[in-house]
Amino acid sequence: MDWLHWFNRWEAMQNAYLPQRQHRFDLMFRLPDFPREADVRILDLGCGPGSVTLCALRHYPNARIVAADADPVLLAMGRESANERISGSTDQRNSVQSVDFILADLRDGAWWADYDGTFDLVVSATALHWLTEAHLAEVYRRVYRALKPGGWFFNADHIAADDPAMQTRYRDLLHEWQQANFDAGAEDWDGFWRGFEAALTQAGLPSQREAITYWEGSDDGLPRQFHLDTLRACGFADVAVHWQDLGEALIGGWKKQAPSAG
C-alpha cells in the first residue's frame, strides 16, 4: 500500500474544497510566535491523516504532538505515510516520531481527562463542523482545560455567516469555486473514498468505514457569533476571527496566564 500516494491524494482533494487551506494551517503556527526550536506541545483535533500535524512540524520541528481522530483508516494513513516520509528522508526522523496518533472521539470526555493543562497550542482544521452545537461547546470547554496558561487555540473551519441569506450566498460562491476545481480535474470526496477503499481491499486491509457513525453536524458549520460567544464564555481571551473567506474562517483565542500572587 503506497500510503504517501494516498496522503497526497487526500491533500489534493481537500485543497479542491478549501480556499487557501495551507495558508490557514500556516497561520495557526505563525500567529502564536513560539520560538522555532521550542518543545511546543500541540493537540490536533480531528487530525485525519495528519495534514495540520505535518504543517506543525515544519514550523516547530521539536514539537510533541497528539493527533486525535475517530477514523482508524485516516489515522493509519497518518502513521504509515509518516513512516514512508521517514524512510525517504532522515531529516524528519525525530520530529515525526514525536507524533502520537490516537483513536479518540472528540465527544468522549474520558481521553481528554489525561491532558488537562498539557498543551501550548490546540489546533483543528475542517473537523469541528462535524459536531452538534452542544458537543462543540463541550469541546471548546475541554480545549480550554487542556491548554497551559498562555496557550493558544485555533479552529480553521466552515464558520457560517450570522445572516442566513448571506450564508446562502457564501455557500453558492464557494460551490462555484469548488466546481471549477472539479471541472479542471480535481478529485472529489466520494471519488477519493471509492479509490482509497478499492486500494485497501486490494491490499487485504479493512476499510472500516462502518466505524464512521459520528457525523452529526452541518456542511455550513455554526454561525460565527456562536463560536465567538462560546469561546469567550469558556474563558478564552482576545477571541477573534484571524482570517476569513466567505463562510470559511480561522478563529481562536488564548488562555491567559493566571495573575501572580502578591
Reference 115, options 64, 78, 72; nearest CA is 64
Which residue from 140, 59, 36, 50 is spatially nearest to 100, judged by alpha carbons? Answer: 50
**Distant-in-sequence, close-in-space partners of 43: CB < 8 Å, separation ≥ 6:** 65, 66, 67, 68, 115, 118, 119, 121, 122, 123, 143, 146
- The nearer residue to ligand SAM, 83 or 208, going by C-beta atoms, is 208
Shortest gap between Cβ of 126 and ligand SAM (angstroms)?
A: 4
Least spacing, CB of residue 48 vs ligand SAM, in Å = 3
Give the angle 100-193-84 at the CA atoms, nearest 5°.
40
Smaller CB separation from ligand SAM, 7 or 256: 7
Q: State yes or no: residue 138 binds ligand SAM (CB under 6 A).
A: no
Return the number of other C-beta atoms located less than 10 Å from residue 134's C-beta.
Answer: 10
Residue 105 binds ligand SAM, judged by CB under 6 A: yes
* Residue 107 CB neighbours (<10 A): 18
Sort strands 147-158 and 119-125 into parallel, antiparallel or unpaired. parallel
Residue 222 sits in the site that holds ligand SAM (CB under 6 A): no
Identify which range of 121-129, 166-174, 222-230, 240-248 contacts ligand SAM by CB under 6 A: 121-129
Geometric angle at alpha carbon 155, from 146 and 209, rounded to 5°: 90
- Pick from 70, 76, 99, 143 the residue near ligand SAM by CB under 6 A: 70
Is residue 81 a contact residue for ligand SAM (CB under 6 A)? no
The Cβ of residue 204 has, within 10 Å, a number of other Cβ atoms equal to: 7
- Of 95 and 126, which has the nearer Cβ to ligand SAM? 126
Nearest approach, Cβ of 93 to ligand SAM (angstroms)?
23
Residue 74 found at the interface with ligand SAM (CB under 6 A): yes
Q: Pick from 16, 43, 66, 106: which binds ligand SAM (CB under 6 A)?
A: 106
The yes or no reply on residue 9 touching ligand SAM (CB under 6 A) is no
Q: What does each C-alpha distance from 51 to 35, 45, 81, 166 come to in angstroms?
A: 22, 11, 11, 30
Asked if 52 is part of the footprint of ligand SAM (rule: CB under 6 A), the reply reads yes
- Taking the complex as a whole, the smallest distance from the CB of residue 123 to ligand SAM amounts, in Å, to 9
Kindly list the residues in this chain that would bind ligand SAM in the complex (CB under 6 A). Answer: 14, 46-48, 51-52, 69-71, 74, 105-107, 125-127, 130, 214
